[in-house]
Structure 1
């Protein structure tokens, strides 16, 4: 079992939160650990946003809890009523994502042994904020996320898995069970990559002074995602339509060769971004799309002769894949030239 940085950081944040409470001799340190667990997020910005939102809702929750203690007491019915009021207010001010920790804070405050034991309630209120602050600091200084490296690594992993499926899609060499499993895994990986890109772009936009990232590179990363996404669509179209059209050996060879061609250049473009391909190589812009246009003409000719609408659908999907790759190549070249 592989432990990710977020798991490790959560454990460290809880440890430090409990330790700080122990040094300061604050009671109910467990609430600091709970606060640290709720606060840790996959990015520094989201952790900071979570802390800020929690500060606001916890402050509101603390006030409501203190008022509930003063006017209602701390019996189960009073605590339940206060929590209902608190959740309603949180949803009203659109802070629903912070409800869990805020409810914990209210429970911590209202579980004070007596209506007038304000120091006990205040202690738990402070302990909760120690947990949140510890989580933020740990997320900043311990295993700070390298968004660029992680994103590019994930792109290459997805491409390698997708290339195997594309190379065997027409020949139908993979078992149906294995193909379905690999397709499901590929779909999940692409969805995770999309989330990773949103984190990356959000971090760049919200924390540009801390993480100075070239906007042109963000555009390249977005196109990397689009290219993989379209490659997956090609696989879906082949799985849905290709074999029902009863392809001839010539059509099998035509589609198989075109996919092999696109996979080769997809890999080449990714290597170019990594700096492993010479920049002074001849431009591929004209040759690449001309090859794909010739392929599409042959597909349409086959469609006209046999009225195979399925072939036209798959051909258009492959053409779109080639278009996304061509754009990826252009963006990478522009970015590398500007960087140099």
Structure 2
């Protein structure tokens, strides 16, 4: 079982929140732990945003809770009525993301025995301690290295993707294994997109703290698009290629060109890592030209055999090659300007 940084940080935040409340002799420390759990997010910016949003809704919730405690008391029906009103107002104010902790705050305050105002206030303070601890832990404990995590994820996905691409035409993998690998690849690409959005959001919102190069962000986005278009090629091959009953010559044509593209995809990623010489003409010249030659052969096969599926796959392969060519251009521009 692999424990990610977020899991570890959540555990640390809960521990610290409970410990600090015990040191300060604050009762109902469990609410601090609950607040810490709700507050921890996958990035520093989102954690700060969560704290800010929760602070607003919690203050609103506390106001309603104290008013309800004063006018209605703390019987179950009164608590339920206040929660219904609060949820309705929170949704109206577009604060739905923080409803859960706000409801916990209302329960914490209104469940004070005998309308004990100091006890209710204590629980409100405890909740804020949990949120503050979560933010500090996310900043100082295992601070996320977005660039390293993203590049590692790209390389991991590419390794799995390249195996599928190299065996797609030869049909060497069992159907069950291929389907499982495709589902995993689809899930990984979806997670990669979320990771990129997180990365880009952090760069935009926290630019004064994390000074990230915008050109590198563009390269990262193109890395994702290249994998995404490669996955589309695999989908097209899986769904329509074999229905055309390809000849051995057609299989060789597609297999060889996909191998060619995978080779250069890997080289372009290695170029970003600084492991490939920048002045190699073979990485720049003839790349799209080779794909154009490939398309001409595909069209010739279509005219001879009337296989429309081949042209669809050929167009898909061309789009993938175009994204790779753009990736190469962006990587070179970034590397030349940053060195």
Q: TM-score, normalised by structure 1?
A: 0.99
Distance 1:95 1:220 in 2: 35
How do 1:246-325 and structure 2 match up within 5 A? 246-282=245-281, 284-325=283-324
Equivalent in the alignment of 1:192: 191
Q: Once the two structures are superposed, what CA deviation does each residue of 1:149-170 show, in whole Å capped at 9, x if it has no partner?
A: 0000000000000000000000
Root-mean-square deviation (CA), in Å?
A: 0.6
Distance (whole Å) between structure 1 residues aligned to residue 119 and residue 299 of structure 2: 78
* Residue 114 (structure 1) shift: 1.5
CA distance in 1, matches of 2:299, 2:157: 31
TM-aligned CA deviation for residue 286 of structure 1: 3.4
Deviations 1:188-219 (CA, angstroms, capped at 9, x unpaired): 00000000000000000000000000000000
Q: Give the superposition deviation at 1:32.
A: 0.2
Aligned to 2:75: 75
**Runs of 5+ unmatched residues, structure 2:** none
Distance 1:77 1:233 in 2: 55
Counterpart-to-counterpart distance in 2, 1:113 and 1:67: 16
Give the paired residue count: 339
Report runs of 4+ in structure 1 exceeding 2 Å deviation.
283-286
The answer (yes or no) to whether the contact 2:264–2:283 under 8 Å persists in 1 is: no
CA distance in 2, matches of 1:109, 1:297: 73
Runs of at least 5 residues in structure 1 that lack an aligned partner in the other structure: none
How far apart, in 1, do the equivalents of 2:325 and 2:218 lie?
Answer: 14
Q: How many Å separate the matches in 1 of 2:212 and 2:123?
A: 40
Shift of 1:282: 1.5
In structure 2, distance between residues paired with 1:309 and 1:81? 64
d(CA) in 2 for partners of 1:302, 1:241: 16
Q: Indicate yes or no: 2:44 matched with 1:44.
A: yes
Matched, 1:34 2:34: yes
Q: TM-score, normalised by structure 2?
A: 0.99
1:1-340 counterparts in 2 under 5 A?
1-115=1-115, 117-282=116-281, 284-340=283-339
Tell me the distance in 2 between the aligned counterparts of 1:201 and 1:157: 20
